[in-house]
A = this chain, B = another copy of it.
């Protein structure tokens, strides 16, 4: 059957489908990225599409109102194709993953982000290296008496500049392929980027002798005029991929950007992705989704900002969780989720650019932050480095709240880590009006106890209308609802107010922003189902911290500093988070939100091999505590799934 997808952004995609196939499945095959954070279980309501022509079968489901249903709205995951059909895909179903946000360094947000990164790294006295050297070469023009080949002519001149022997210098194919014409177009006057002794090929030496340093230097790329020296660092998140282009000479940002991880169409969490990856062709499907549809376009957009070509990127550093790193590399990772939870690799060190498939220089070194276990990955080892906690004598606690929650406690002597499945609630997933901490997100909120009206702040330029609520906004909303007595310790609405409604299924909603004041033209609300999801997430975090400390027989009071990081956003109100029982009750000044520590750690690896070595050491010294194997953990989780906790004395 013919299926036509009409996307809100104007694209039209044709596909054929078998009768009975779901709209979501046909869309995936057609490359139309429809949101499905619940992995097609019909529960999240993110995959709302509208039938324009033709027919689909399937129940209405709780996320579609009667009115919307009569207008043709359906859940893509719950609708089976029964005839030729034309389907409108609204931006709301696409926006999550398809929108690349890029900023050059002139923007305020990019500067803030760089400041946060510098702050995160300030505790580390890591040495930045000069991995590359630039040369400007004016060569003799060849003649009948001097018919030396172009490559050897450049190497000869470079050797003189570098004080090296000709045979110590090699040449990348990318540089060689450009060389003959660039020399002649520029009167034999070119800029050269030389890589020093880093990830270069060493000449064979199999006779038992010492390895020769025949490739101490590599002519890495050539330029008309001045060489470009730019690297890229990437935080490879389950929900969001963030990146920054870095001038490797000044170590400053030249562009930053982020994009939703397009793998989200195969599910919001790592488990759904691993399940999909184990299906036929799944490994390359998931790899392509993140490399071709997500990172390559992000890099390409950042490069446009910076006025360079992706192929000029000469080094990359990537930090991601264990699953994301496997899927990025096209390595089968399904054993991560199957007992005994064994990844294919912990520490890859690096690969060549061509193997990464993200459009950068084919011989660029691509570094990866190492994993410690199936659920403590490179984002955490890079993050621990960024906090500087592994250099301190005093104890610190590191809490990274992205799609998963990871917690590390320790100091320069030891590091103990654990992971909790917080779901995607902190990044706005599993919440009807949830969204990432990006433009339009409500990031903080106060409810007037008399009128029940909300006052909120929104990320974005002056006058930005709200589009949804991000993690920090959700903490505030629930804390406020609890403080004003509108919800009870179980998160259920007990008090009626002017902004509270109930739908036909019995779910109760509190309206934060009415349709006419929102960017989307729909109400922004929170339901008791949303609150329930969020409480389970915060309960998972608190019980993980509690169990981790208890396993060491230590109380919260030993924690000198708490580093918060991840997608939950910088707007987090610590007082409110303690109030709802998400974080331990400790003086608020011990809490520090330090941004995207995974990206900070990737940045450090990018500019310093020393930092990469230190992160490898952190990974080796870190112990992993499997919470599910700790007796009593489930009881702790249940006790923490209340507002604030069954043992309220913990928060007094």
Q: Which of A127-135, A422-430, A513-521 contacts B (4 or more CB under 8 A)?
A: A127-135
Contacts of A173 in B (CB 8 A): 329, 351, 355
Of the candidates B129, B142, B179, the one whose C-beta lies within 8 Å of that of A340 is: B142
Contacts of A147 in B (CB 8 A): 340-342, 373-374
Given contacts A206-B609, A354-B354, contact A349 B170 (CB under 8 A): yes
Distance in Å from the Cβ of A174 to the closest Cβ of chain B? 9
Instruction: Decide yes or no whether A335 CB sits under 8 A from chain B.
Output: yes
Given contacts A173-B329, A330-B177, A371-B149, contact A207 B343 (CB under 8 A): no
Contacts of A649 in B (CB 8 A): none
Contacts of A345 in B (CB 8 A): 149-152, 171, 176
Contact A149–B204 (Cβ < 8 Å): no
Contact A204–B211 (Cβ < 8 Å): no
Contact A150–B342 (Cβ < 8 Å): yes
Cα(A629)–Cα(B213), bound, Å = 40
- A336-356 CB contacts (< 8 Å) to partner B: 339-352, 354-355
Instruction: Decide yes or no whether A198 CB sits under 8 A from chain B.
Output: yes
Of the candidates B149, B170, B171, B213, the one whose C-beta lies within 8 Å of that of A343 is: B149
Instruction: Decide yes or no whether A577 CB sits under 8 A from chain B.
Output: no
- A213-255 CB contacts (< 8 Å) to partner B: 213
| Interface SS majority for chain A | loop
Contact B177–A332 (Cβ < 8 Å): yes
Cα(A351)–Cα(B215), bound, Å = 13
Instruction: Decide yes or no whether A279 CB sits under 8 A from chain B.
Output: no
Cα(A345)–Cα(B166), bound, Å = 13
Contact B176–A609 (Cβ < 8 Å): no
Distance in Å from the Cβ of A154 to the closest Cβ of chain B? 10
Cα(A142)–Cα(B346), bound, Å = 14
Instruction: Decide yes or no whether A205 CB sits under 8 A from chain B.
Output: yes
CB-defined interface of A367-403 with B at 8 Å, one 1/0 digit per residue? 0000101100000000000000000000000000000
Contacts of A585 in B (CB 8 A): none
Instruction: Decide yes or no whether A199 CB sits under 8 A from chain B.
Output: yes
Chain B residue at minimum C-beta to C-beta distance from A626: B144
Contact A207–B344 (Cβ < 8 Å): no
Contacts of A171 in B (CB 8 A): 345, 348
Q: Mind listing 25 A-B residue pairs with CB under 8 Å? A: A129-B207, A142-B340, A144-B341, A144-B626, A148-B342, A148-B346, A149-B342, A149-B343, A149-B371, A150-B335, A150-B343, A152-B347, A171-B348, A173-B351, A176-B345, A176-B348, A177-B329, A179-B344, A184-B335, A200-B201, A201-B202, A201-B352, A204-B350, A354-B354, A355-B362
Q: A144-B341, A199-B204, A207-B610 given. 7 additional CB < 8 A pairs?
A: A129-B206, A148-B342, A184-B335, A197-B202, A198-B204, A211-B211, A354-B355
